[in-house]
Structure 1
Amino acid sequence: MSHQSHTLHEPSGQMKSAHPQLTELILRLQQTLEDYITHQETRHLQQDLELEKQNHSQATRGQETTLVHLMCQVVSLFQSGATNSLELQLDSGGDVGGGQQAQTSRQPDQLHHQLSDVKASFISNDLSDRGTDTSALYQSSFQDFTTYHGDKYDEDRNPSGFINLAISESNLCIDLITERLSRGDMTSTDEALLQYADWRGHAFLREEVARFLTYYCKAPVPLDPENVVVLNGCGVMFSSLTMVLCDPGEAFLTPTPFYAGFTCASRLYSKVELIHVHLDSEVTEANPHPFQLTVRTLEEALLEARTEGKKVKGLVLINPHNPLGDVYSLDSLREYLEFAKRYNLHVIIDEIYMGTVFDESIPFHSVLSMESLPDPNRTHVIWGTSKGFGISGFRLGALYTRNKEVASAVSTFGFLHGISGIAQHKLCRLLQDREWIDNVYLPTNRSRLQAAHRYITDKLKALKIPFLNRGSGLFVWINLKEYLDPCTFEEELLLYRRFLDNKLLLSPGKSYMCKEPGWFRLTFSDKFLHLKVAMLRLAQALSEQKQCLAEKQMKDTLKE
């Protein structure tokens, strides 16, 4: 702490002139932290336990509240590049973009959503700097998900629990999956399954993955199982790929909005920068579709990055897209791959949502279906069973790459991130059963996805909420900008907290690095009863938000 204090007390002249807001925030944050630590140390000297409890509840709450506000502001400035474009109105209460009133109106009961054990997160005698960063990443990314797991909605046992429409999982065909997994061919205790396997995965599973992708991706020639690697999840696969393709500090272009897990995966191990290629929701002559990705946009982002001295090694694509639900046309895919070849870039393309295209009029084209890839040695496909089969607990992430060096390097991570032999056996049996997949699972899953999507979108229309109407994925990308005043990410966060207050989890657009505040991802692949209750809670939260905005506007009018 002494070194940090020295740094904060004596900021450089450049920092003062370039980022006065950031300097002021850090100094206030430091002073609050020092006061908080002093108070915590004093607590241990108290002899009267009852007095100690009273002092803590009264004196600490104000410090914790101020501390959280300050941290939110610092994070906001860092995320925005600490530029002058982010206008913050600072006062003694730590107001962010006019959001203090909305926050204090819900204190102190809702403050626990923002607090994540301040002492443990910022004061540790045990964690290294890297460990502290990892802990902070976990707290910021998964705190609400952890809270949800401790308070899940159940119609009978916990009707006031959280309903999670934030995480992209499907519960629509659990009955079919559990029945298939309970059949006799799924059970095996063969000796080979109980021992260490090839780090790439058991040969029988890699062979079946190759056959499965050949068939369902419509590959022109049988895929080679020697080009397949399996690990315990696509997030680990992405992290492993970026690690073997990049050195720390190098970068991949990533169109935004994009799957938030990639940010976590790239920070945990590989320390690879994801350069955001921001897409616009506004429809123009150049962009006839919302959030359309064009080669021109990619080239502009690449040129800007290289001008800034960044070493860009590749491009990340998601098809079908998360969170937009878009399915790339074959022509678009080829354009993106040719762009990458032109600039000697690797392409990591995530096709995990391949099995979620429920609109039969929309064709899905895998890059593995192409007769010839522009640069096969630099094209790497990720796929898994979590989304299409709704079995995220099995933790299968598969890589297909023709680059033998890349496959070999990624295989090394199987030492730490392999899948159990028993799970590999069950997955192999599942993927082998084409008759069940084609005649039972796929048509039923498609029908249930269509019904759930129709129910949710009808409710959204009734609430007059704009959304992207796409034919794939387990979610809808919805526009709640009209409920933000002003339309800022600070207000988006407050709206997200209001959903939490109503025991509803949605995913805010900021977590997908969307450049426009107000977008949320809403997952619809859940049980009908859950969706019904969730939409009632959504309507209630938005009604409260609308009332709050009306009161705020009235106060502003009276001030004038």
Structure 2
Amino acid sequence: MAFFFQLVSLSSTSPSIYIPFKYTNIITHSSFPPTQTSSSSFNLFQPSLNLFIKFQNLQEIMLSAKVTCNSHGQDSSYFLGWEEYEKNPYDEVKNPDGIIQMGLAENQLSFDLLESWLESNPQPAAFKKHNDQSIFKELALFQDYHGLPAFKNALVKFMSEIRGNTVSFDPNNLVLTAGATSANETLMFCLADPGDAFLIPTPYYPGFDRDLKWRTGAEIVPIHCSSLNGFRITKSALEEAYKQAEKQNLKVKGVLVTNPSNPLGTSLSLHELDLLVNFITSKNIHLISDEIYSGTVFSSPSFISIMEVLKTRNLMNTEIAKRVHIVYSLSKDLGLPGFRIGAIYSNDELVVSAATKMSSFGLISSQTQYLLSEILSDKKFTQTYLSENRRRLKERHDMLVKGLQKSGGIRCLESNAGLFCWVDMRHLLSSKTFEGEMELWKKIVYEVGLNISPGSSCHCSEPGWFRVCFANMAEETLVLAMQRVTSFVDSMVVKKNNQSRHQQLLLNNRNSRRTKSLPKWVFELSFNQREVAADER
């Protein structure tokens, strides 16, 4: 049976709080000033008695500062949109008027290819070798924290394949993590102390505010990019961000980029990558290249990995290469976010060693590693999958772009990768402000029934941009989403035209009333004054 003390505030406006009896050992006379611990204030005769005390903040005593702080970043509109979707999710049959999820970067376009492979290769999924010998016991027992050698070898070869085999990766430099989220956070722990900063180009993935900052204590300083050049990284933007960090007394430990970009859906150019290498060299800092969308590049220009740049510039065996780190995952390229497959690739032995130790807090199950090692080792399959998946992504991307263009001329940033488009809705804002952006976003979520991500959640410096995902739904659902957008934009145009006509009518009526209300002597006086003025000239 659970016992509780009732904590009744001396303030009549505060509610009573019930404290589990097991925590009452922390509430002692020494916890409060003498004036508050007299017998008239409270008595501790038995658990069922009321405890009358003046108490400042129960959470500060019972919970850690990490739990009670608000640096988790999940109060962003990016996550709030998800919450609204979960309250009212669209379903073709059960809830046809529900919210369509277009804020989730998930690749559901090629599951049939994976399922077909599993049907043709049933042994790995059943934890059997190709001779039908069971390896269940072997996989169920403790495994090396470094990961299964077969899986690590298969993964680095897959990474090379995505990059056209222009570079190779050493499995000894690979650290396995439970997804890219864990990989990015682990790198923060390895490269930065609490209060140190990383520079990130805007707009950037909203989850970085949680993944990089919450538990590590690291800070993010934005590298502000502009739509005038397609949100490309420039030398001046890098230098300005570095100066801003210095003004805030923050020690810059590195730059983090997503390549291809989330949310832009664009791959970094060779010029941008060269700029980044030169910048981190001049500042003696790190570079993290998050390349989890590298296999989703569906049109030119082709993807260039940061490792290719190091190789081309003969920097692979230098100190500079030790400060360049890659984050990878199978969540986007293979569409397996639920499998939690992430990785860190680093040329720095100390980083690899420390990250491997930290990975014990988020390991990948041996069963998952075994299954995927078999899939990735089938080169005929991976080649077919990558090619077909890219074709399907381009087809779906073009479908969204053309659909939005027909829906009132909504345009997208030209992109070549990813599972989303960066959509320009600036012309639909009631005001060219972030308040106007949030007003439009709420209408899209609640009235249109689409969850998309506002640019402000991605720290975009210009209001009116939105990230819209296209690969996490059936084609029929995307068609419905475009129909909803068209209806919404049409209604906005009609409303705007009606308002314009109404304002014009009011103006005409006002002018008409003003003219009719003027007495005859006013016109005569005005005419006489003009004659006098003419004489004076």
Q: How would you bin the TM-score normalised by the shorter chain?
A: 0.7 to 0.9
- DSSP-derived class of the 2:159 partner: helix
Q: For residues 356 and 233 of structure 2, what CA distance do their matches in structure 1 show?
A: 32
Q: 1:451 aligns with which of 395, 399, 413?
A: 395
Q: For residues 553 and 267 of structure 1, what CA distance do their matches in structure 2 show?
A: 47
Give 1:130 shift.
Answer: 2.4
Alignment TM-score, normalising by the size of structure 1:
0.73
Residue 261 of structure 2 aligns with an amino acid whose one-letter code is: H
Cα offsets for 1:434-490 (capped at 9, x unmatched): 101213x12221221121112111112112012112111111111111111211111
| Structure 1 residues 449 and 123: CA distance shift in structure 2, 3 A | farther
Give 1:133 shift.
Answer: 2.7
Q: For residues 192 and 312 of structure 1, what CA distance do their matches in structure 2 show?
A: 45
Aligned to 1:266: 212
Give 1:539 shift.
Answer: 2.5
- DSSP-derived class of the 1:389 partner: coil
Aligned to 2:301: 362
Q: Is the 8 A contact 1:199 1:413 kept in 2?
A: no
Q: 1:396 aligns with which of 322, 341, 357?
A: 341
Q: For residues 223 and 387 of structure 1, what CA distance do their matches in structure 2 show?
A: 20
Give 1:195 shift.
Answer: 2.6
Aligned to 1:225: 171
Q: For residues 222 and 454 of structure 1, what CA distance do their matches in structure 2 show?
A: 33
Tell me, which stretches of 5 or more residues in structure 1 are unaligned?
A: 1-36, 45-121, 283-288
Residue 365 of structure 1 aligns with an amino acid whose one-letter code is: I
Residue 436 of structure 2 aligns with an amino acid whose one-letter code is: E
Aligned to 1:539: 486
Cα offsets for 1:142-201 (capped at 9, x unmatched): 343244245432222332222111111111112212232443132215323213333332
Q: 1:292 aligns with which of 209, 213, 232?
A: 232
Report the structure number with the largest CA radius of gyration. Answer: 2
Q: 1:142 aligns with which of 79, 101, 110?
A: 79
Give 1:128 shift.
Answer: 4.0
Aligned to 1:476: 421
| Structure 1 residues 552 and 347: CA distance shift in structure 2, 3 A | farther
Alignment TM-score, normalising by the size of structure 2:
0.75
Aligned to 1:103: none
Q: Is the 8 A contact 2:72 2:209 kept in 1?
A: no
Q: For residues 492 and 14 of structure 2, what CA distance do their matches in structure 1 show?
A: 37
Aligned to 1:316: 256
| Structure 1 residues 222 and 324: CA distance shift in structure 2, 3 A | closer
Q: 1:131 aligns with which of 67, 70, 76?
A: 67
Q: For residues 470 and 228 of structure 1, what CA distance do their matches in structure 2 show?
A: 30
Give 1:495 shift.
Answer: 1.3
Q: For residues 229 and 547 of structure 1, what CA distance do their matches in structure 2 show?
A: 56
Aligned to 2:410: 465
Aligned to 1:185: 123
Aligned to 2:354: 409
Q: Is the 8 A contact 1:382 1:400 kept in 2?
A: yes
Comparing 297-306 and 401-410, the one that deviates more: 297-306
Aligned to 1:330: 270
More helix by share: 1
Residue 399 of structure 1 aligns with an amino acid whose one-letter code is: I
Q: For residues 475 and 167 of structure 2, what CA distance do their matches in structure 1 show?
A: 41
Residue 488 of structure 2 aligns with an amino acid whose one-letter code is: A
* Alignment of 1:249 onto 2:195: yes
Q: For residues 435 and 520 of structure 1, what CA distance do their matches in structure 2 show?
A: 38
Cα offsets for 1:412-443 (capped at 9, x unmatched): 2322111111111122122112101213x122
Residue 344 of structure 1 aligns with an amino acid whose one-letter code is: N
Q: Is the 8 A contact 2:109 2:393 kept in 1?
A: yes
Percent identity over paired residues: 32
* Alignment of 1:496 onto 2:441: yes
- DSSP-derived class of the 2:69 partner: helix
Give 1:203 shift.
Answer: 2.3
Tell me, which stretches of 5 or more residues in structure 2 are unaligned?
A: 1-10, 19-56, 128-134, 511-537
Residue 130 of structure 1 aligns with an amino acid whose one-letter code is: K
Aligned to 1:93: none
Q: Is the 8 A contact 1:201 1:231 kept in 2?
A: no
Q: Is the 8 A contact 1:186 1:426 kept in 2?
A: yes
Residue 406 of structure 1 aligns with an amino acid whose one-letter code is: V
Cα offsets for 1:71-127 (capped at 9, x unmatched): xxxxxxxxxxxxxxxxxxxxxxxxxxxxxxxxxxxxxxxxxxxxxxxxxxx996864
Q: For residues 305 and 219 of structure 1, what CA distance do their matches in structure 2 show?
A: 38
| Structure 1 residues 185 and 366: CA distance shift in structure 2, 3 A | farther
Q: Is the 8 A contact 1:218 1:368 kept in 2?
A: no
Residue 482 of structure 1 aligns with an amino acid whose one-letter code is: H
Aligned to 1:353: 293
Q: Is the 8 A contact 2:262 2:418 kept in 1?
A: yes
Cα offsets for 1:362-400 (capped at 9, x unmatched): 221112234233711000001111111111111111111
